[in-house]
Amino acid sequence: MIRRLTHRTLLVLIAFLLAAPVLASEIGYVDMQRVLEESDLGKAAQANLEERFGGEQQAFAREEAEIRQMQQQLERDRPLMSAEQVEKKETELRERIKRFEEEFTQIQRQLAQAQQQEGNKILQPAREAVISVAKKRKLDAVFEANQSGVVYLDDEGDITDEVIKTMNANTD
């Protein structure tokens, strides 16, 4: 008796047949987040961003703390205040929060743009290092560990440390 293949079974069979050549290939992976954080170029970019935006982040943290303190003080003193005083404090608080949010959003945009610019400085050397390591190890494919959707990766395929070393050697 011949059973009909279900649509799902047929798809699995086709996927397996298409993947068969890949299964025999040498595959590696790299954790690009670690490359960005641990390579010399990545550390320099992080230091540059900290130098440019670190002071502003501290100022925002102070302003946020002051706003919270104002909110707590208003809630604490509300029973003792007249309706006009409460309205005045609430208006002042709303304006301060609005100004804070506008300034914070502007700085966040600037930070995101600066992060992208710094990331672009690292991207090409990182690609070159990945290609160099992949060729040296005779890998047919390299995946980004955090973006692959792969459930299991053997540590033998991790080339992240070699990529960082290669990048650092090329920036000296």
pLDDT digits (tens, 9 = 90+) for 116-167: 999 889 989 998 998 999 899 888 888 888 775 555 566 777 888 998 999 8
pLDDT in tens, 155-170: 777 888 998 999 899 8
- Note whether 8 and 138 are within 8 A (CB): no
Domain assignment of residue 153, yes or no? yes
Higher-pLDDT residue of 115 and 10 is 115
Smallest CA-to-CA distance from 36 within 101, 130, 104 is with: 130
pTM higher than the cut 0.85: no
Domain assignment of residue 57, yes or no? yes
pLDDT category at 2 given cuts 50, 70, 90 is: very low
pLDDT in tens, 6-65: 555 545 545 555 554 555 568 888 888 899 899 999 999 999 999 998 888 889 999 999
Phi first, then psi, for residue 137 (nearest 5°) are -90, 0
pLDDT at residue 92, as a whole number: 95
Query: Is 71's pLDDT higher than 70?
Result: yes
Number of structural domains found in the chain: 1
Domain assignment of residue 1, yes or no? no
Domain assignment of residue 68, yes or no? yes
Domain assignment of residue 2, yes or no? no
Distance from C-alpha of 121 to C-alpha of 133, rounded to nearest angstrom: 20
Q: Read off the CATH number of the domain in which 61 is found.
A: 3.30.910.20
pLDDT at residue 13, as a whole number: 45
Query: Is 69's pLDDT higher than 50?
Result: yes
Beta strands in 17-172 (DSSP E): 27-30, 141-144
Domain assignment of residue 79, yes or no? yes
pLDDT category at 75 given cuts 50, 70, 90 is: very high
Kindly state the greatest CA–CA separation across the chain.
89
Range of the structural domain that residue 92 is part of: 7-171
Domain assignment of residue 105, yes or no? yes
Determine the angle formed by the axes of helices 40-77 and 83-136, rounding to 10 degrees.
160
